[in-house]
């Protein structure tokens, strides 16, 4: 018998996961139930993914796998709604930043299998990167199922949970840093007189090509950077400005702040 999937929370990340699940030939569910406090979001899932909208308690009762895709401070509410319904035959998959598997296990009140996931928004285009950590009661089959779900929207890596806050800061938040760098390059190009459409093509391809070189050559970023920097040339002049304006320091501080915030979210549950 095929498992029943329940999705609590129908935000952007949940949408990305459903896109992957619906298009993956290796994933098949008997039914998919959804619930969101915003009726327009759950209606979107019903229309696009042929899922069924039901109340949270009924969803938890009827589902074998429950993906909790709500804000961190709402996770406790979802777990409380399921009191008396959680058991060791259900699998909880949480994508809430900062919330530990032990917190979910304790709040559920039973030895329920829990897998914590930190995905990122490129899941929407099938290029996500997700970290996966298993709770005390999650077995090999549980982990493999979650990996299969996450691999349908990119790649997934199993990690020790102690690293999840740092991974949240680097990978979960990482797309925003990249978008900010791209935006800054485009704006700077406008300042020196280039056309916006030309800039978009140039910057997008430059960033994508640079990442491809990193992946295919396996070289350290510093090595590839040095190859672009000719003595006395334009690139080294630009790199010097970036260094003098504290680009490294800014990234160190940004990732540290994001990591600390992930820890705080876990405490605010």
DSSP state of 70: S
The fold of the 174-265 domain, in CATH, is ProC C-terminal domain-like fold (1.10.3730)
Second CATH level (architecture) for the domain 4-160: 3-Layer(aba) Sandwich (3.40)
124/108 Cα distance (integer angstroms): 30
pTM score of the predicted model:
0.91
Q: Where are the domains of the chain?
A: 4-160, 174-265
pLDDT < 70: residue spans in the chain: 269
Helix (H, G, I), strand (E, B) or coil at 213: helix
Q: What is the per-residue pLDDT across 139-154, written as a single tens digit (0 to 9) for each? A: 999 999 999 999 989 9
The confidence score (pLDDT) of residue 269 equals: 61
Q: What is the per-residue pLDDT across 177-223, written as a single tens digit (0 to 9) for each? A: 999 999 999 999 999 999 999 999 999 999 999 999 999 999 999 99
Burial class (CB in 10 A: 0-12, 13-18, 19+), 195: exposed
Give the N- to C-terminal CA distance of the chain in Å, as an integer.
Answer: 36
């Amino acid at each position: 018998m095929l498992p029943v999937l329940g999705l609590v929370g129908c935000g952007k990340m949940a949408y990305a996961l459903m896109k992957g699940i619906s298009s993956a030939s290796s994933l098949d569910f008997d039914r998919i139930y959804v619930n969101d406090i915003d009726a327009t979001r759950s209606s979107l899932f019903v229309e696009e993914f042929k899922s069924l909208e039901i109340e949270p308690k009924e969803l938890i009762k009827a589902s074998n796998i429950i993906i909790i895709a709500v804000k961190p401070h709402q996770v406790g509410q979802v777990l409380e709604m399921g009191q008396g319904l959680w058991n060791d035959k259900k699998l909880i998959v949480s994508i809430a930043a900062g919330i530990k598997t032990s917190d979910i296990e304790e709040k559920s009140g039973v030895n329920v299998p829990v897998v914590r996931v930190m995905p990122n928004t490129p899941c929407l285009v099938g290029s996500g990167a997700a970290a996966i950590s298993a709770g005390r009661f999650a077995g090999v089959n549980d982990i493999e199922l979650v990996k299969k779900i996450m691999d349908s929207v990119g790649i997934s890596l199993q990690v020790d949970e102690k690293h999840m806050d740092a991974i949240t800061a680097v990978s979960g938040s990482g797309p925003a840093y990249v978008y900010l760098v791209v935006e800054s390059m485009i704006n700077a190009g406008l300042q020196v007189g280039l056309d916006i459409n030309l800039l978009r093509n140039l910057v997008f391809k430059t960033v994508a090509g640079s990442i491809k070189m990193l992946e295919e050559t396996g070289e350290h970023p510093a090595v590839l950077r040095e190859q672009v920097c000719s003595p006395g040339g334009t690139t080294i002049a630009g790199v010097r400005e970036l260094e003098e304006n504290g680009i490294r320091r800014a990234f160190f501080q940004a990732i540290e702040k994001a990591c600390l915030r992930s820890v705080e979210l876990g405490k605010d549950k």
